[in-house]
Amino acid sequence: MRKIYLDYNATTPIHPEVIEEIKPFITERFGNPSSIHWAGREVKKYIEEAREKVARLINADPMEIVFTSSGTEADNFAIKGTVETFKEKGNHIITTSVEHPAVLNTCKYLEKCGYRVTFLGVDSYGMLDLDELKSAITDKTILISVMFANNETGTIFPIEEIGNIARQKGIIFHCDAVQAAGKVPIDVKKLNVDLLAISGHKFYAPKGIGSLYIRRGVKLRPLIHGGHQEKNRRAGTENVIGIVALGKACEIALRDMEKESQRILGLRRRLEEGILKTIKDVTINGHPESRIPNTTNISFHYIEGESLILNLDLEGIAASTGSACTSGTLEPSHVLMAMGIDPVVAQGSVRFSLGKWNTEEDIDRVLEILPGIVERLRSMSPLYRRNK
């Protein structure tokens, strides 16, 4: 059976050029970058090259890049590091209700530790209101943490405007750019962000490598204590293979972004238009314009997203729902709920996230299979029969 992968926001395959780049580090280049002899020095040089490449992707200076084990660690470092550093100044954090758990649960944890957290709401497109953000700021606000692009809907937040507000008020601004990096241009200087997290496995590097941009002059208390790696900002012997891979993935992303994002946007439109044309009672969730090119989140009314995913899987098509399965109970997605979508409709939502190896044939195959599955599931749905 032909396999079609439409879940690139969950993770991506490793790019063949990245695989080539890391091969010598799996075989002969084994040194510990902290060692002063030839084996260490050789590896250290490649780490610094990778740092330059990561910096170039987001228009940072290489010394502003700290390698981490993941996007999750980068978010934790940014948030916990900031509140630890600025706890004398205040105890208030502003974030949104649609963040990834890496940010959301870190903020909820800090709430338990005595910090006050404002979770800003969003409108039906998943967009936040800048006036609401402004009026949430108090003289105790020490951190604003807002994601660049939402992982479930793809909606892009007005990061530059938020950056300007934060800078004017002298508040640290962290941006979780895990779903944006490699997909849309990011310029940390223009955006006025102080901290920005990215993750390798979302754009063709392996899992288990990320980085945090820390603007020059911003001093964060480290999250992980130990050796002097990463200029005392993140202890632990470096994940050399991951770092080299992340550097290469950033180089490729910068090189291919313009062409690839246009191509992928074309595929997404083909998919959305095809679905709207052939299936009744569907709605597209997320912002119509301000959205990363590869992501579409679609509610198929009267059916369950999980059943749709399982049926697509039987046909070799990998996608995901907007809902998370927690300890056996099917919870509707917190993102779609925050957008005010009816919980029953939210349960029928599916995220298709496209990437480098998708073709028009993939999309056409989905469009061939999907209407039949939806029709079959609806024919078994009491909800559908009641409403029709």
Give the binding site for ligand PLP (CB under 6 A).
70-72, 75, 100, 102, 147, 151, 176, 178-179, 199, 210
Least distance from ligand PLP to the Cβ atom of residue 138, Å: 26
Least Cα distance to 203 among 187, 185, 183, 184 occurs for 183
Of 268 and 378, CB closest to ligand PLP: 268
C-alpha separations of 159 from 19, 144, 264, 290 in Å: 33, 11, 23, 11
Amino acid at 164: N
**CB–CB of 215/188 below 8 Å?**
yes
Of 67 and 302, CB closest to ligand PLP: 67
Of 246 and 377, CB closest to ligand PLP: 246
Of 179 and 299, CB closest to ligand PLP: 179
CA gap 309, 152 in Å, rounded: 15
- The helix/strand/coil state of 93 is strand
Least distance from ligand PLP to the Cβ atom of residue 326, Å: 16
Least distance from ligand PLP to the Cβ atom of residue 210, Å: 5
Angle (nearest 5°) at CA 6 between 344 and 292: 80
Amino acid at 19: I
Least distance from ligand PLP to the Cβ atom of residue 329, Å: 21
Which residues, at least 6 apart from 204, have a Cβ–Cβ distance to it below 8 Å?
12, 13, 14, 15, 18, 182, 249, 252, 253, 356
113 given a catalytic annotation:
no
Closest residue to ligand PLP: CB criterion: 71
Task: Identify each DSSP E strand in 147-232 by its residue range.
Answer: 172-176, 195-199, 210-214
Least Cα distance to 351 among 177, 179, 137, 145 occurs for 179
Of 90 and 208, CB closest to ligand PLP: 208
User: Of 107, 175, 250, 325, which one is the catalytic site residue?
Assistant: 325
**CB–CB of 148/183 below 8 Å?**
no
CA gap 152, 335 in Å, rounded: 7
Least distance from ligand PLP to the Cβ atom of residue 56, Å: 20
Active site residues: 325
